[in-house]
Amino acid sequence: MRITCVIASTTLALTIAAPITAQDRFETLPGYDRYKLVTDSMNKLVTGGRISRINWNEELPLLEFVRDDVKYQIDIETLVLSEREVETDDGDDGSSTPRRRTRGPGRGRQRTTETSPDKNYIARCVDWNVIIDRADEDDPQRITVTTDGTRKRRFGKASWVYGEELSQNSAMWWSPDSTKLAFYELDETDVKDFYLATKLTEWRTELETEGYPKAGEPNPIAKLWIYDVPSGETTAVQIGDDPEQYVYQVRFSPDGSLLLFNRTNRHQNVLELVAADVETGESRVVVTETQRTWQRNRPYIKFLNDGQRFIWQTEKTGWLQYELRDLNGSLICSLTRGDYPAAEILNVDEESGVVYYMAYSDDHPLNAQLHRVGLDGKGQTRLTREPMNHRVWLSPDRNYFVTTYETAEIPPTSALYSIEGEWLATLGESNASQLDEFGLTAPELFTCKAADGVTDLYGLLYKPSNFDPRQTYPLIIDVYGGPQSQRVRSRFRAANAYCEFGFLIAVIDNRGTGGRGKAFEEAVYLNLGIVDMADQVAGVRFLTQRSYVDAERVGIFGHSYGGYMAALAILKHPDVFDVAVASAPVTDWRNYDTIYTERYMRTPAENPDGYDQGSCLTFADQLTGKLLLMHGMVDDNVHPSNSWQLIDKLQHAGKSFSMMFFPTYAHRIRGPANAIRWEFLYDHLVGNRTSPSSAGESAPAEAD
């Protein structure tokens, strides 16, 4: 069925053509059979190099693992490798029972119940108040902790912006001995509400109301309280006097004597780890981190067994590193160092006084390597040697490790090593001959210069099977590009099945993305949509210098921040991009929440030019290519009003465009969206680009 949607404005009406809605058309596109073949075979292509379900049996000693759905074991002493029968997790009825994931609170929400460590109490947030139920059927008790909570002044619950941007999915916390309950008080009195119509496909709609502080607007004000169960007394925690600060990542110290929390100023360039006495509420600063731009809000922290010393993540040198600190506020020593970022901590062996961690210390900055260092900061040693990206599993006794190593262009190999880095046995090797069988070319990890002409950018280029460099192909940029994200990694992926429709597909990590150090990340500060967008353009211009890349057929697509980048690309750079599919885009940063937006842009009053130059609305009158906007109508994160504002600007500028709104979807758009995206890209980059009957083509309609 073809559906025509008329979008009216005071000056112009546009008919949004229906050919785009034919979902079954995706399976009729030329190249679909090859796409399906590659998609169905992806898990079988270049197999053998990756292993899973690694289990160390120290008593025997054996290492067990699964490769290509076959279970193996290797005797670590004799290095004899043998097959084993794969065990299934059987239910009572003898059938295989899949493991179920425990679902947490919804996006931007907090749990409404917290069970004490001794299982005797359940704290609940009910009607914006905190109550405690005794979990005993023979002696049920209910303790009322607060009574005057409201939606605008809530207890035991945080707010949407705290949940979304500070990962605060809890708002009540039990002490280790189950005698004390800490909880939030969040005052949203001055936070403006956002109203979202829901149940759009039913006979009666409903209205969802949420306090949503947009850039530059008043924020929720947080307080912390501690309730003592035995005495029934409540103590206020001294969190500081700055009403603009954010208070989050609340937890008790290992011995329960302190309540720890992070706090940061509104600009988020000064972070403090604060410790409060649980009896008096008096607080003191344990660590302060300061950055010129923004500070990482949730640095990694891991306590040692004494509950006093802890490993702390810092970027004070411009690279992510780790230190050993004390709760008394002192720095004991720097653990990791180097002109490259450390990655995750794998293991802390306190008995031997050694920390094992990953770091991007290879000649290529995308390759992670295994390191160790003493808890005194001495003896830093790289243990892996291949100039490739490593994923590592340590044996429990720290005498051995397994690593899977690979690059974006070289398929993975898995091997067993001694802890000193001596190769012992190969556990799995990839069979790259399958690429030839499918006519596939391994993806290319390329390097190009950023828009500044100096900084190296990395990208991945995927090609269709039976790629012929004598032909020309349209180029599609698969974009996200948001601050501190990272999509270009040194991990092998055999193919991108969507290339089978006749595309080259590239992913480029612009300045601002993560994993490359603070200077690389902060290049976008105050300039979202300016520096990052310029780098995507630089990447396209680099690729279109190749004879097989058609510079007249360049498309781009993305979702959320990627949707913003896609929309901005075709509006701001019509000379570079011909087609764009923008899904759930932030079309103007004044629309988005305080914590995320101000971290990178400060407020609109402080940075008006940055907000204007990074806004899709500013460049709406420059549209010359083909634009498809997609948005979920009940998106409580990037509100549909973002797209409506751009639509209004485009209509008043007399621009033709396409749109597809989804009445039952929130920020994640599922269902037919994927097929619609690729139909649109195919029609305007591979198919007939001028025929008015092409899917998604829209034309001006007569005004009423």
Dihedral sign for Cα 337, 340, 341, 342, please.
Answer: negative
Contact 235, 280 (CB under 8 A): yes
- Residue partners of 455: CB distance under 8 A and separation at least 6: 449, 511, 520, 523
- Given the residues 362, 535, 593, 635, select the one marked as catalytic: 635
Pairing relationship of beta strands 456-462 and 444-449 according to DSSP bridges: antiparallel
Q: Is 684 a catalytic residue?
A: no
Tokens of 466: 């039976």
Q: Write the burial class of residue 82 (CB in 10 Å: 0-12 exposed, 13-18 middle, 19+ buried).
A: exposed
- Given the residues 667, 683, 684, 694, select the one marked as catalytic: 667
- Residue partners of 675: CB distance under 8 A and separation at least 6: 23, 25, 26
Q: CA 120 to CA 140: how far, in whole Å?
A: 10
Tokens of 9: 């404005």
Contact 224, 185 (CB under 8 A): yes
- Beta-bridged to residue 400, according to DSSP, are 418
Of the candidates 272, 233, 236, 273, the one whose C-alpha atom is nearest the C-alpha of residue 253 is 273
Count of beta carbons in the 10 Å neighbourhood of residue 421: 14
List own/partner pairs for 350-353 with CB under 8 A and 24 or more apart. Answer: 350/304, 350/305, 350/375, 352/398
Helices 531-543 and 561-572 meet at what angle, rounded to 10? 70
Contact 625, 571 (CB under 8 A): no
Tokens of 283: 């607080």
Q: CA 659 to CA 698: how far, in whole Å?
A: 9
Contact 379, 403 (CB under 8 A): no
Of the candidates 469, 617, 457, the one whose C-alpha atom is nearest the C-alpha of residue 532 is 457
Q: CA 655 to CA 648: how far, in whole Å?
A: 10
Q: Give buried/exposed letters for 86-106 (b at 16+ CB in 10 A, else e).
A: eeeeeeeeeeeeeeeeeeeee
Q: CA 270 to CA 599: how far, in whole Å?
A: 11
Of the candidates 609, 589, 480, the one whose C-alpha atom is nearest the C-alpha of residue 536 is 480
Contact 314, 290 (CB under 8 A): no
Q: CA 407 to CA 388: how far, in whole Å?
A: 6
Q: CA 577 to CA 622: how far, in whole Å?
A: 12
Q: Is 635 a catalytic residue?
A: yes
Q: CA 108 to CA 639: how far, in whole Å?
A: 14
Phi, psi of 52 (to 5 degrees): -145, 180
Catalytic residue positions?
Answer: 560, 635, 667
